Amino acid sequence: MTTADKREDPIYVSPMVTGPTVKELEDISAELNLGLEGSTVLKEYQSVINDSLEMVNQLDDLVEPSLPVKYPRTPGYRPTREENPHNAWYYKCRITGADNGNLSGKRIAIKDSIAVAGIPMTIGFSGLEGYVPDFDATVVTWVLDEGGIILGKATCEELCNSANSYTSGTGPVTNPLNPRHCAGGSSSGCAVLVATNEVDMAIGGDQGGSVRIPASWCGLVGLKATFGLIPYTGALSGEFVVDHLGPMARTVKDCALLLEVIAGYDNGNDARQPNDLKTPSYSQQLEELDPKSIRMAVLKEGFGSPGSDPEVDRLVRETIDTFASSSGAHVQEVSIPLHKSSIAIGTVIGDIGGVDMTYNTAGVGLHHTGYYATSMMRDVGARLKHNTKNLHPINKAHLIEGTFLKKNYCHLYGKAQNLKRQLEKKFDDVLVD
């Protein structure tokens, strides 16, 4: 029998989707409160479903489009403690791209929530060990196209769900300014590697501060760019409407340079992006900028909030005043009272939407028109499903809370999203002025 014959013979072919057992149908019926009981009735449903699944299995013969892997690389390795004193590296490698470009010779670290083909990826969770992406995230390809050198994957906090730096499955990431202190998260390793000059730049991810917090705590420049400006294609999503990737560097100039490379339209692969997106030369804009032309709004509600440190508030205001007096920039205080409720709004979106995104669709999501990393959905999804017992207590609490809210108060997600749009409009109005 030839190979072609075997492909046609069901004895040699395992279907992509196998039909449900009667017991599985019984369990689903009970969960959905359908009132279907008895094997006779369920077998009738089983027959109808199996007929439908024959159509579903036709997908197995179709070849789907995939993200490109343009540049060769070796597998890399897990660094020893001696060469990784702050635990900032998850995996080391060396991937070189084009001979010339805007990032020629620049050393880059990639957060371990962003796919790099052939390099293991855990998103900070030990339960995902063994997953190796077969595709490069768009920003990885664009960095290599511009001559950047990728030196590895930076440690991140477990499932990117902590602003501190002690939840990663590989252990705490320490702050190089004081190893007894946190480096900030969730892009903890990125910040430390840039701060210690092991790399020139890093690409982090930010849903609720995960670029900005570690950049601040390690004395760097970190930017959460405008939503959709940088394609999120190939990175694990925390919640579709708040997903951002962002550059991290030691200087504003390098931050602008990396932004210039990784910002832009991804040909429809990322549904977060408007299809008319245009990006300027940020480096050139920075060089031509007259500081006296800067108009800065300082948010009144950003200070004096419950839990904030008065000393930090004082230092930030002092820094703003120093910048204004030395540069001639115009500074104006503005007020957006709804900002006081932003944490509550974000908590509901992150709890209900984030749990659904991460645990039910493996950080890829549903209901959007962009690229679906099906290997990530399959492999990360299976590992998450079987290893949730190994989650950090922070993420166990997050999973329980999000599941509870979705099951009993799902409408709050809609209310939070509506309030988010209202809050965005308030900020847009300030920026227009």
How many CB atoms sit inside 10 A of residue 397's CB? 11
Kindly state the tokens that stand for 20: 């449900």
Q: Is 253 a catalytic residue?
A: no
Q: 337: part of which helix (H) or strand (E)?
A: none
Q: What ranges make up the beta strands (E) of 155-244?
A: 174-175, 178-182, 201-205, 221-222
| Phi, psi at 181, each rounded to 5° | -110, 160
DSSP secondary structure code for residue 421 in this structure: H
First CA to last CA distance, the chain: 75
Say which residues have a Cβ less than 8 Å from residue 245's Cβ, sequence separation at least 6.
Answer: 114, 139, 203, 204, 205, 206, 225, 230, 231, 232, 235, 262
d(CA 84, CA 90): 9
Residue 399 neighbours by CB distance under 10 Å: 20
**Alpha-carbon radius of gyration of the chain:** 24
For 206, phi and psi rounded to 5 degrees? -145, 115
State whether residue 401 is helix, strand or coil: helix
Active site (annotated) includes residue 186:
yes
Catalytic residue among 162, 168, 186, 187: 186
Answer yes or no: are the C-beta atoms of 175 and 218 closer than 8 Å. yes
Active site residue 111: yes
C-alpha 95: how far from its chain's center? 22
- Beta strand 330-334 with 295-299: parallel, antiparallel or unpaired? parallel
For 317, residues 6+ apart whose C-beta sits below 8 A from its C-beta are: 298, 303
Q: Are strands 107-111 and 149-154 parallel, antiparallel or unpaired?
A: parallel
> Would you give the DSSP letter of residue 114?
B
For CA atoms 177, 180, 182, 187, give the dihedral sign.
Answer: positive
Per the residue annotation, which of 106, 111, 153, 224 is the catalytic one?
Answer: 111
* Cα distances (angstroms) measured from residue 197 to each of 200, 217, 250, 405: 6, 16, 9, 43
Position of tokens 């906090």?
157
Rounded Cα–Cα distance for residues 209 and 163 (Å): 7
Q: Which of 162, 168, 187, 210 is flagged as catalytic? A: 210
Residue numbers annotated as active site? 111, 186, 210
